Structure formats: C-alpha cells, structure tokens
Amino acid sequence: MEIMRRTSLTNYLAECRRRECNNLRKAVPGPLVAYQVICVRKSTKKSACRLGTGNALEELSRDARCRRPPNHMIRILIADDHVVVRAGLRRILERRTGWKVCAEAGDGKEAISKAMETKPDVAVLDYSMPVLNGLYVTQQIRSDLPQTEVLVFTIHDDEALIRQVLSAGARGYVIKPDPTSQLLDAIEALSLHKPFFSTTVSNILLASLLAQPSPDGKLSDRERRMVQMIAESHTNREMADILNTSVNCVEYRRKALMRKLDFCSTADIVRYAVRNGMVEP
C-alpha cells in the first residue's frame, strides 16, 4: 500500500531553481505543499521495504544552491565612508534570510583590517574611500583572502576605472543609482564565486568592446590579401603574378607587412591569419 506524508516545502521551493524543480513540482498540488510517497511492500514474511525520497530531495537542494554548504550564512563586509550609506545597506542586506553583515568600515585601511579579521564571503567596497581607495583595497583583499569576492559599489561609471578594479581582482561592479535588485543579485552571484555586472556596467563594457577596431583593422585590403596568400604558402613569384606586380615589389611589401605587424617569421603571419579567420586552421 502507499502511505502519503504531507511535508511543508515553503523554504525549499524558494531556494530551488525553476528548472531543477520540474520533477518535484509535478508532485506538488499547491504552491506550499508537496507529497512524499513512501511505498511499503509486504513480503511473504510480512516484512516491509521502504523506498523514500528524502535523500533525493537533499541532493536536489544541494545542487539548487550551487553546492553551498547547508545553512551557510553569507557574511558580508561593507566599506563606505558615508555612515548613512552603510546603515542603509545593512538594513537592506540583513532582510535577506541567510545574509549577515559581519563588519563595517569607513575607510580603506579599516576595510582591509576588518576583512582580515572577519574573512567575509563578499566585500562590498566603495571606490572613493579615505586613506586607501577601493583599487588598493581590492588588490590587498584578493591577495590575502582569495576566497573573499570583491564587489565594487560606487557612483563612478568611468570605463578606465572599471577596468582597473576588475584587473585588481574585483568580480562584480554595480553603480549606486542602479536598482537595488541588481546589488542583491550581485552579492548572491559573488557568494557562489560567479561574476556579476549591473546593466549599466555591462553596457559600458560592451560599448567599449564594440568601439575597438578589429585586430586586423589596421591592414589595407591589399595587405590582408598578402597575409592570406602567405598563410596559404604562396611563393613570392606566385603572389607577384596574382597581384600583377614584380617579385621585388612583393618582397618589399612583405617586409613592410612584417614590420607593421611586428612579426619575426612567416609562422607569425600564419598564426595571425588563422586567428583572424583569413584562412582555415
């Protein structure tokens, strides 16, 4: 026979990702209640064999939390020179179940000291802080505490500054005017050691990327054609015939091309051509 046991899964469903809960939700008649089915089969000796789903639920829960240890409290350091900002952030962050602000700092030096003392999961840093700025603090924290992720939370949206702090080891960047939900998403992502950039920052970086010239943009059409022919192992004589010019002219242009690309050998040209899609590898 089947024995049905009703179990509240409010917290569980809140933490599981939608895709990973599809199989579980098929057995959920309502948003807050699920049924666990335990089959009890009687043998000829009137003994029973219980087949439960408890272990499966625990495995799914662990996977849904991206392998975060059970009941793990996300510990957060807030570093900002404005008391009002720190107080507001603390109120917002500690509303989340399982989140705790373990320390606050009002300047860069204090931020490093508090980080060494408390070893937070995520350090939320302003860039413009007294004594030591966010760039230096990021470098020190990432160097001494590699398990602590750094989220820069600042008013500055300068592309060069964003690149500097990312190079220093920050894995997240959120602009203060961005929606609060993006700050919360950033902390959640960094606590799982995943990078996060707010919409504003993503747009800045994307615009910068698109504005950069392509790797071979500095070459003329004739030079690109020469690179392709060299990579395809054409001789100088063959290239001269194709380009309808003299061998001496091809040799001169070939040397000029090597200087322009700062290459030392034909192998460099071949790798360049393959990397930029001029020839098939």
pLDDT number for residue 217: 55
Instruction: Starting at the earlier edge strand, list the strands of the sheet with 33-42.
Output: 2-8, 33-42, 48-51
pLDDT number for residue 117: 97
- Is the domain defined by 74-211 classed in CATH 3.30.390.30? no
What 3-state class would DSSP assign to 159?
helix
Q: Is the pLDDT of residue 209 over 60?
A: yes
The structure tokens 């000796």 sit at 45
Q: Is the pLDDT of residue 108 over 80?
A: yes
C-beta separation of 123 from 168 below 8 A: no
Instruction: Output the DSSP codes for 70-90.
Output: TTPPEEEEEE-S-HHHHHHHH
pLDDT number for residue 64: 43
- The residue type found at 150 is V
pLDDT grade, residue 214 (50/70/90)? low
Q: Is the pLDDT of residue 227 over 50?
A: yes
> Taking Cα atoms as reference points, which of 105, 221, 81, 208 lies closest to residue 154?
81
pLDDT grade, residue 93 (50/70/90)? very high
pTM greater than 0.85 (yes/no): no
CATH topology for the 221-275 domain: Arc Repressor Mutant, subunit A (1.10.10)
In this structure, of 4-18, 60-74, 125-139, the range with the lowest mean pLDDT score is: 4-18
Q: Is the pLDDT of residue 63 over 60?
A: no
pLDDT grade, residue 25 (50/70/90)? very low
What 3-state class would DSSP assign to 261?
helix
pLDDT grade, residue 70 (50/70/90)? low
CA 149 – CA 120 distance, rounded (Å): 8
**Alpha helical stretches, state H, the chain:** 10-15, 22-25, 54-64, 83-93, 108-118, 134-144, 159-168, 180-191, 199-211, 221-231, 236-243, 247-261, 266-275
Domain boundaries, the chain: 2-64, 74-211, 221-275
C-beta separation of 224 from 214 below 8 A: no
